[in-house]
Amino acid sequence: MDERVIGVDLGGTKILAGLVDRNGEIERHRETPTPLTSKEDLLRGLDDAVQALRDERVVAVGFGLPSQIDQRTGTIRGSVNIPLGEVSFRDRMSERFGLPVALDNDANVAAYAEHRAGAGRGSPTMLMFTLGTGCGGGAVLDGSLYRGWAEFGHIVIEADGLPCQGFCHGRGHLEPYVTGVAATKIAQELFGPAADSHRLVRLANEGDLEARGALAAIGHKFGIGVASMCNVFGADLVVVGGGFGVAGFEWLVPAALEVAKRDALDAAGETLRIVRAELGTMAGLIGAGLIAFDEV
């Protein structure tokens, strides 16, 4: 009844860890810098984050990681921006703590958190798009978190289109059209080299029609991706998170919804809703806790 888990959200700059209950409520949490000097230092940092919160009520530990994960073996295959390459993560952690351990990609756990404790409550099937510096995705299908790849940022929305961001060598993927990085590029074309995505959103909020138009154009591209994913998964609820997605929501979503309703099959399109994420920066921690409870 009084059981708790520890959820750990590992980011490129900080480790956010907290005690979480079955409803996804955070009892207390702490934040420490992410050790980036070596894999060993990073794993030690995670150990310390868990031990600092552990008490007799803790029955499992969950991790949200910026990593590609093989769920069958609990192994990390590689990570973005942190020194956490190949490692048998689940075995190492469950041996160390003597507790069941769950792990998943950070975007997947954020989607699960929104489904259980945020904007997706009450919708058995929902998709989440995280629009920040990158574009992440997560899917909850019939109440269960889809534990495989949900790389919505890398679906093709334009044949032979823009080169993708970062290490991705694809072209025309959703990501280079809809992130904060994409918005900064457009802002600089319109308002000069000092402009960025924050300024673009601020100008739109202040009534600038050019800025509103630019965000609507980004929203249009986003809606094309949303429609395709809704057609695949039969989802009629889409949650938008991430720094840029949440800040620009008001200007992105009307255009996204318009094109998504056109491109989605009737069954999804008629009832499609796109809503703003509610859990903010705590989504990863909460979701990591909730996948840990699923292991108990």
In the complex, the residues that contact Zn ion under the rule CB under 5 A are 154, 164, 168, 170, 173
φ, ψ for residue 249, nearest 5 deg: -45, -50
Pick the closer one to Zn ion by CB: 26 or 168: 168
Closest CA to 127 of 10, 235, 33: 235
Pick the closer one to Zn ion by CB: 4 or 173: 173
Nearest distance, CB of residue 231 and Zn ion, angstroms = 20
Q: What is the DSSP letter of 43?
A: H
Pick the closer one to Zn ion by CB: 104 or 175: 175
Check if the beta carbon of residue 132 is closer than 8 Å to that of residue 245.
Answer: yes
Pick the closer one to Zn ion by CB: 116 or 173: 173
Cα 17 from chain centroid (whole Å) = 17
Pick the closer one to Zn ion by CB: 162 or 190: 162
Nearest distance, CB of residue 173 and Zn ion, angstroms = 4
Nearest distance, CB of residue 165 and Zn ion, angstroms = 7
Which amino acid is located at 59 in the chain? V
Nearest distance, CB of residue 163 and Zn ion, angstroms = 9
Pick the closer one to Zn ion by CB: 103 or 155: 155
Check if the beta carbon of residue 26 is closer than 8 Å to that of residue 281.
Answer: no
267-to-10, 126, 258 alpha-carbon distances in Å: 38, 14, 15
Give the list of residues 6+ apart from residue 64 with CB closer than 8 angstroms, or none: 7, 8, 9, 10, 103, 104, 105, 106, 108, 109, 110, 284, 285, 287, 288
And the tokens for 88? Answer: 């048998």
Nearest distance, CB of residue 107 and Zn ion, angstroms = 14
Nearest distance, CB of residue 215 and Zn ion, angstroms = 22
Q: Is the dihedral of CA 234, 128, 107, 63 positive or negative?
A: negative
Nearest distance, CB of residue 245 and Zn ion, angstroms = 17
Closest CA to 9 of 109, 133, 127: 109
Pick the closer one to Zn ion by CB: 114 or 151: 151
- Residue 78's CB: how many other CB atoms inside 10 A? 12
